[in-house]
Chain A
Amino acid sequence: MIKQQFETPAKYKKWTYGLLAVGLVAFLAGFFFLGLSKDEHDQTRFWAGLLQNSLYFLMICNACMFFICINILGHSSWQTTFRRVPEAIAAVVPVFAVVSMLVFIAIVVGDQHHIYHWLDKDAVASDKILSWKKGFLNPTFFFVWTVVTLAVWILVGRKLRQLSLRADEGEITGEEARQYIWNNTVWAAIFIVFFALTTGSTIPWLWLMSIDAHWYSTMYSWYTFMSSFVGGLALIALFVIFLKNQGYLEHTTTEQLHDIGKYIFAFSIFWAYLWFSQFMLIWYANIPEETIYFKPRLQGVYKGIFWFNFIVNFIAPILILMTRGSKRNYAVMTFMAMTLVLGHWLDFYQMVMPGAMGDHFSLGWYELGMLAFFIGILMFFTGRALTKAPLVPKYHPYFKESLIHHT
C-alpha cells in the first residue's frame, strides 16, 4: 500500500503545539515586559526580535518557491517526487507575509527609529546622506513596495501551486502536457524575474540594510538572498527526511537526497563567497563610512557571533558535506540541515541586531522564545499544507523521469 496522503503524526502535533505554546508565552511576556516597557532598549529588543524572525522565516519559505521555479525553468525532473514538500513550505508565505506586515506597521507607524533610523524626521532633515536617500527610505515607498512584493509573491506562488495540483487530477499527455510545461515555465519565469527585483535587490535594502541607514553595500541583497536560500534548502531536506522516516515519499530515494545535499553544499560555498566579497572590498578600501558596518561585528561585542556564524555556515558544511557518503547519509544530512537552519537564523540576527541594539544586544529567553514561536508557526502551517494534497504528483509529465533518477 503506497502512502500518498500525509496524516500529521501525533508526535509532530505535540512538538508543534509545544513550540507554539512556549513561543506564545515568550511573545506575551516579551510584549508586556519589553514591548510596553518605558526603556527604549527593551522596546527595540522586542521589535527587533520580531523583525528578525518574521523576515527570516518569510524569506526561507519564499526561497522554497524559488527552488521550485529554478527547477521548472531548468526542466529538471529529479525533484518531481518530492516537490510537494517545497510547495507546502512555500504555502506558509502568506502567513509570514501577514506577520511581517503587522511588524512593519508597528515599527514604522510606532516610530521605532532605533531600528529604522530613517524614520526620525529631524535626524533626516539635518543629515545630508539620509536626505539624499529620502526618495527611497520613506514610509510611503516602504509600504507600497512591501505590499506589492508580498502580494506578487503570494499570488504567483499560489498560481504555481494550482498548476502543480493539476497533476493530481488525471493523465496529462501529448499536446496538453507540452502546454502544461509551458504554462509552468511562464509562471516560474514571472516569479523569478520578480524575485530578482525583490529578494535579489530592493527588498533586503529596504527591510534589512536600512537598519544601518547611512551604510550601503551592493553585495547585501545577494548575501541575504543566499542566506535565505540555504536556509530554505535545509528546510526542504529536513521535511523530506522527516517524511521518509514516517514511511512516505517512497519514490524519493538516496539519489534525490544526494542532490539536495549537493545544493546545500554548493550554495553554502556561494554564501561564503558573497560573505567574503562584501567583507574584503570594505576591508581593503578601509573607508570609515563603509567599515562602520564591520566595526561592531568584527571588533565589538558581536565578534563571537560573527565568527561563529562563518564557521557554522561555511566551514562546517564544506568539511562535513564534501564527501559523497555524507550527502547520502540521513543522519549527517539531518544534523547539517538543522545546523544550517539555525545558523542562518543567527546570520539574520547579526544583520539586524548591531544596527538596532548597538552594544546592548542580548540572546536570551525572548530571542529563543521567538525562534520557537516561529518554528511552531512554520511546522503548523507546513504540516497543514502537506495534508491538503497527495505527496506525489503522479500525473506530472516528468514524474516517470524522476523515478529513474540517479546521480
Chain B
Amino acid sequence: MTIKKFVVGCFDDEDILFPAVKKVRKAGYKIHDVYTPFPVHGLDKELGMRDTSLHTVGFIYALTGLTTALGFISWILTKDWVQNYGGKPHFSLAAWIPIMFELTVLFSGVGMTLTFCYLCQLAPFVKKHHFHPRATDDQFVMVIECTPNTNVQEAEGFLAAAGAKEVNVQMAETGWWLGRYDMDKKLFDHTAETVTA
C-alpha cells in the first residue's frame, strides 16, 4: 500500500465536530476519515458517505445459504442416501425448512461479519495505523489527507480555527499489513514526523 501525509485534528465535543466537518469539506479538503469513540448518529451523512452495501451482500449470502441447504439436503435424501422416514415422501420440504432457515442465517451472519471485518480492515495479526490513541477513549479524531495541492500549514491552522484541541501532521500507511501491534517496528518508522500545534 501507500504511505501518505495526513493532517490530524482532535476534537473533544460532537457539537464542535459537526460544524467543523461541514467547514472542512466546504473549504475543499479531502477528509480521509473521522475516528470516534462511539457511533455518532448522522456523521456519515455529514461526511457525504454513501449508504453501505453490506445488507445487499447479506441478502446474497442468505440466498447462497438457502440454495446450499436445499440443494444438499435434497440431493442426499432423494438421490444419494434415500431413506423412508415414517412413510413421508422423500422430497419433504416441510421437514427441511428449519435446516434451510438455519443455513440461511448462518451464511448471512458469518458472511456479513467477515465482509464487515474486511471492509474495516480488521483481522487477527493484521495491523492498521492509529492516528490518535484517544480516538478509542474520548476524542473525535478528524484526519485530512494531503494532496499535492494541500498547504499543510494552512490545513493545520484551519483545523485549529475550526475548534480542534490538538493538531499534528503524520506520515502513515493507509492500508493494513501483517504484524502484531506491539512487535512491529514499521509503526515507529512512519510516524517520525509528528508536530504538535
From known contacts A286-B86, A322-B59, A324-B51, infer whether A280 and B41 are also in contact, taking CB-CB under 8 Å.
no
Given contacts A324-B51, A406-B41, A279 and B59 within 8 Å (CB-CB): no
Contact with A along B91-107 (1 / 0, CB 8 A): 00011011000000000
Interface residue from B42, B59, B95 paired with A280 (Cβ < 8 Å): B95
Contact: A283 with B94, CB < 8 Å? yes
> Which residue on chain A has the smallest CB distance to residue B85?
A284
Q: Interface extent on B, as a size class?
A: 10 to 19
Main secondary structure on B side of the interface with A: helix
Let me know if B59 and A284 touch, CB within 8 A: no
Query: Which residues of B68-98 are within 8 A (CB) of A?
Result: 86, 94-95, 97-98
Decide if A263 is an interface residue (CB 8 Å cutoff): no
**Chain B, 25-54, CB within 8 A of any chain A CB:** 41-42, 51
Asked if A31 is at the interface (CB within 8 A of a chain B CB), the reply is no
User: Smallest CB-CB separation from B87: which chain A residue?
Assistant: A286
Give every chain A residue within 8 A of B51 (Cβ-Cβ).
324
Mask for A91-106, Cβ within 8 A of B = 1, else 0?
Answer: 0000000000000000
CB distance from B87 to the nearest CB of A (A): 8
C-alpha gap A279/B97 in the complex (Å): 12
Interface string of A283-313 (1 = CB under 8 A from B): 1101000000000000000000000000000
Q: Is A276 part of the contact surface with B, judged by Cβ < 8 Å?
A: yes
Contact A280 B97 (CB under 8 A): yes
Residues of B within 8 A of A406 (CB): 41-42
Residues of A within 8 A of B86 (CB): 286
Chain A min CB distance to B58 (Å): 10
Complex contacts, B59 vs chain A, CB 8 Å: 322
- A116 CB to nearest B CB, Å: 31
Cross-interface CB contact of B94 among A280, A322, A324, cutoff 8 Å? A280
A279 to B95, CA, bound (A): 11
A121 to B59, CA, bound (A): 56
Neighbouring B residues of A279 by C-beta, 8 Å: 94
The 7 closest A-B pairs by CB, nearest first: A283-B94, A280-B94, A406-B41, A276-B97, A284-B95, A406-B42, A286-B86
Residues of A in contact with B (beta carbons under 8 Å apart): 276, 279-280, 283-284, 286, 322, 324, 406
Given contact pairs A280-B94, A406-B41, enumerate 4 new A-B contacts (beta carbons under 8 Å). A276-B97, A280-B95, A280-B97, A324-B51
The interface of chain B, by Cβ under 8 A from chain A, is: 41-42, 51, 55, 59, 86, 94-95, 97-98
Provide a sorted-by-A list of 15 A–B residue pairs whose CB atoms are within 8 angstroms. A276-B97, A279-B94, A280-B94, A280-B95, A280-B97, A280-B98, A283-B94, A284-B94, A284-B95, A286-B86, A322-B59, A324-B51, A324-B55, A406-B41, A406-B42
